[in-house]
Amino acid sequence: MLEDTAVGSKGEVVYVADPKLLSCSDAIPAFRQRACLTHALITSYGLHHKMRVVPSEAANEEDIRKFHSQDYVEFLQKDVPEEDEDKDAQDEFGLGFDCPFLDNLWGLVCGLVGGSLTAARELTSGRSKIALNWCGGWHHAQRDMASGFCYVNDIVLAVLHLRSAFPKVLYIDLDVHHGDGVENAYLFSPKVVTLSLHQREIGFYPTTGAVEDIGLGKGKFYTLNVPYKEGINDTQFIYLFESILYPLCEVFMPDAVVCQCGADALSQDPLGGGNLTLKAYTTCVTHVTNLSKPTLFLGGGGYNKSNTAKLWTAITATVLKCPVSTEIPEHQFFHWYGPDFELEVTAGLQKSSNTQESLDQTIKAVHGNIQKLAESLEQK
């Protein structure tokens, strides 16, 4: 059952949610109903009473142009009827199979960015220590094109805003897919460290994120990639995360943290290849909150919608230090959680392709990159 043990005062954790924001997230075909499922499950447990719920304020053109190119912004603003769509232009800007042209696309983009900017403002103002926006986390969008179900990169824009108050930001990506859009945005930046844990196999989207990719120019050594193989389990994932997070933070010492919690490394995700349960994520989230820095938690991938809702509800409870029953309360979407109706995601029988040796080799390589980062910082 719920226990009244939320972190500090109610204002310390802010939860960004409102009908318009949920509608924007649910408008993307691959994620229809996911945002509403998540919000309904969080409220069914009464967790919204433990947080300050803040409505999102939509972004404007000026906000979005702080990262995205003028040509791409102008394309997104076009209201193009289906029969008159410019196929060449759509191809140029990444609109196609995974990112179809949608009605009111510009309004959707402004809404999605607005959710994460609203959350970021809560942190920079000092009103909150932790902000949650499960409608954010679109980490594949590039400066001038959509990619991987992501039309706009709310993460890059949120980090930009955070840097107005927090000089050094650590970005952590737990999605099964490499956080390529965020990495590319900050490839040359010595103020943002991007740390991505992701599956990397031949042909597995987006195929980037090798451990040797460490940033460029002034941003060299500020990019850290932690690739793993198919079938990773809780023990292996937690081992990777714990082995890297704390050594990194001893060197970089961030002023704020952004953590993308894509749920597609969970067991049973149709587009992932991981075999994680909720425990892997909630353990990592606990380590992130233990850093005691202003922190923004975002959503991301997650194609088994009910499991994704379970995960983000479990993370919300973890952040609040508010244990919840494994029995899902009856609510509007209760039927989605049959036949067991429990807040658990069980691991499958899939054997992990990762070995202790392969994990240790990756950790050794990443530690070497962290050491180079330390040497770089000492020279400044």
d(CA 354, CA 230): 7
* Residue showing tokens 């802010």: 14
Read off the pLDDT band of 10 (50, 70, 90): low
Specify the amino acid at residue 373: L
Please, which pLDDT band fits residue 379 given cuts at 50, 70 and 90?
Answer: confident
137, 142, 144, 146: CA torsion to nearest 10: -60
- Supply the pLDDT for residue 8: 42
* Beta strands per DSSP E along 251-362: 256-260, 295-298
pLDDT tens digits for 75-120?
999 876 555 556 777 788 999 889 998 999 999 999 999 999 999 9
- What confidence tens digit (pLDDT) does each residue in 331-361 have? 999 999 999 999 999 999 999 999 999 999 9
Position 367 pLDDT exceeds 60: yes
What integer pLDDT is reported at residue 7 of this predicted model?
45
- Note the pLDDT of residue 79: 74
Residues in the chain: 380
Encode pLDDT of 44-74 as tens digits.
Answer: 999 999 999 999 999 999 999 999 999 999 9
Q: How far apart are CA 178 and CA 186, in angstroms?
A: 14
Over pLDDT 90: what percentage of the chain?
91
| pTM of the predicted model over 0.75 | yes
| 357/364 Cα distance (integer angstroms) | 10
> pLDDT for 220-275, tens place per residue?
999 999 999 999 999 999 999 999 999 999 999 999 999 999 999 999 999 999 99
- DSSP letter string over 219-239? GTT-EEEEEE-TT--HHHHHH
pLDDT, the chain, mean: 94
- Flag whether pLDDT at 4 surpasses 60: no
Q: Which residue numbers are catalytic?
A: 140
For residue range 301-310, what is the model confidence (pLDDT) as tens digits?
999 999 999 9
Q: ∠ CA 147-150-154 to the nearest 5 degrees?
A: 125
CATH number of the domain located at residue range(s) 10-378 in this protein: 3.40.800.20
pLDDT tens digits, 297-334: 999 999 999 999 999 999 999 999 999 999 999 999 99
The sign of the dihedral angle between the CA atoms of 107, 112, 115, 117 is: negative
pLDDT of residue 2: 31
Domain boundaries, the chain: 10-378
